[in-house]
């Protein structure tokens, strides 16, 4: 199994080696030319041993959320990582990611070992999102999703996410659309589909590991 060759130290080392390797990814230019707003997401890594439902699993897994349904929210119902915009009191992207994860899913920062950061992603909605990778050091751990923001918490195996046949890239929403850009879509799994910025971040994380894997 591909992911079984990694441990927390090797993942941290490969994130450090990948830092600064490439420029940040841009979905599309912000239409009004405004400076992007700072945001961060946490990529919670569950080590091999147990999955979210308490069953045995030999693969590393990533924790995801499915956003709550809101009529006027453009990201309503989407699969994502816990995270959000930076608050004035946040020291850095790590502080933002940990705070948001605690607020959205009740993940105590004391149970997270930060392994590193990834290149930021500039989104079409006007955010500069910094992904922060964190090992969940206590598992299983009690999670409390905020029903106003999170409909569901689930996990996906890194080995499944790595498989190229499980995803494709296409121009979205449509050729000629003013916000048309290349978007990654994963296959649907258990009624959920990972796509968009969260899929780009996932693939970028895997690419940090892949060159040495």
Q: pLDDT grade, residue 71 (50/70/90)?
A: low
**pLDDT(111) > 90:** yes
Q: Which residues neighbour 126 within 8 Å (Cβ) at sequence distance 6 or greater?
A: 30, 34, 36, 37
Got the DSSP string for 55-100?
-EE-S-EEEEEEEPP-TT-TTTT-EE-SEEEPPTT--SHHHHHHHH
State the residue for tokens 């894997």: 213
pLDDT of res. 201: 97
Torsions phi, psi for 25 (to 5 deg):
-80, 140
Q: How far is CA 209 from CA 15, 110, 143, 169, in A?
A: 8, 25, 28, 20
> What is the distance between the alpha carbons of residues 105 and 83, in angstroms, rounded to a whole number?
10
**pLDDT(124) > 60:** yes
Give the closest residue to 50 by CA, choosing from 41, 38, 63, 39: 63
| 130-178: pLDDT as tens digits | 999 999 999 889 999 999 999 999 999 999 999 999 999 999 988 888 8
Q: How far is CA 207 from CA 19, 60, 117, 121, 212, in A?
A: 12, 15, 14, 15, 9
pLDDT of res. 107: 98
Mean confidence (pLDDT) of the chain: 89
**pLDDT(79) > 70:** yes
pLDDT winner (highest mean) among 24-38, 65-79, 83-97: 83-97
DSSP 188: P
> What is the distance between the alpha carbons of residues 28 and 128, in angstroms, rounded to a whole number?
12
Helices (H), the chain: 8-18, 93-105, 158-162, 196-209
**pLDDT(86) > 90:** yes
Parallel/antiparallel/unpaired status of strands 112-117 and 25-26: unpaired
Give the closest residue to 170 by CA, choosing from 160, 181, 159, 161: 181
Model pTM score: 0.92
pLDDT of res. 30: 47
pLDDT of res. 118: 96
Q: pLDDT grade, residue 210 (50/70/90)?
A: confident
**pLDDT(60) > 80:** yes
DSSP 14: H
């Amino acid at each position: 199994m591909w992911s079984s060759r990694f441990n927390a130290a090797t993942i941290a080392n490969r994130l450090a080696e990948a830092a600064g390797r490439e420029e940040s990814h841009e979905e599309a230019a912000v239409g009004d030319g405004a400076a992007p707003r700072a945001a961060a997401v946490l990529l919670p890594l569950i080590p091999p041993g147990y999955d979210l439902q308490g069953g045995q699993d030999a693969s590393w897994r990533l924790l995801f959320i499915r956003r709550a349904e809101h009529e006027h929210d453009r990201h309503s119902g989407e699969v994502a990582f816990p995270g959000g915009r930076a608050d004035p009191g946040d020291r850095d992207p790590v502080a933002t990611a940990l705070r948001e994860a605690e607020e959205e899913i009740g993940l105590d920062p004391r149970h997270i070992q930060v392994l590193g950061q990834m290149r930021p992603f500039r989104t079409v909605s006007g955010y500069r999102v910094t992904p922060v990778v964190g090992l969940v050091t206590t598992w299983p751990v009690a999670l409390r999703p905020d029903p106003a923001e999170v409909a569901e918490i689930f996990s996906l195996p890194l080995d499944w996410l790595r498989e190229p046949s499980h995803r494709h890239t296409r121009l979205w929403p449509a050729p000629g659309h003013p916000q048309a850009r290349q978007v990654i879509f994963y296959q649907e799994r258990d009624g959920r589909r990972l796509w968009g910025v969260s899929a780009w971040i996932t693939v970028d994380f895997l690419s940090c590991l892949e060159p040495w894997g």
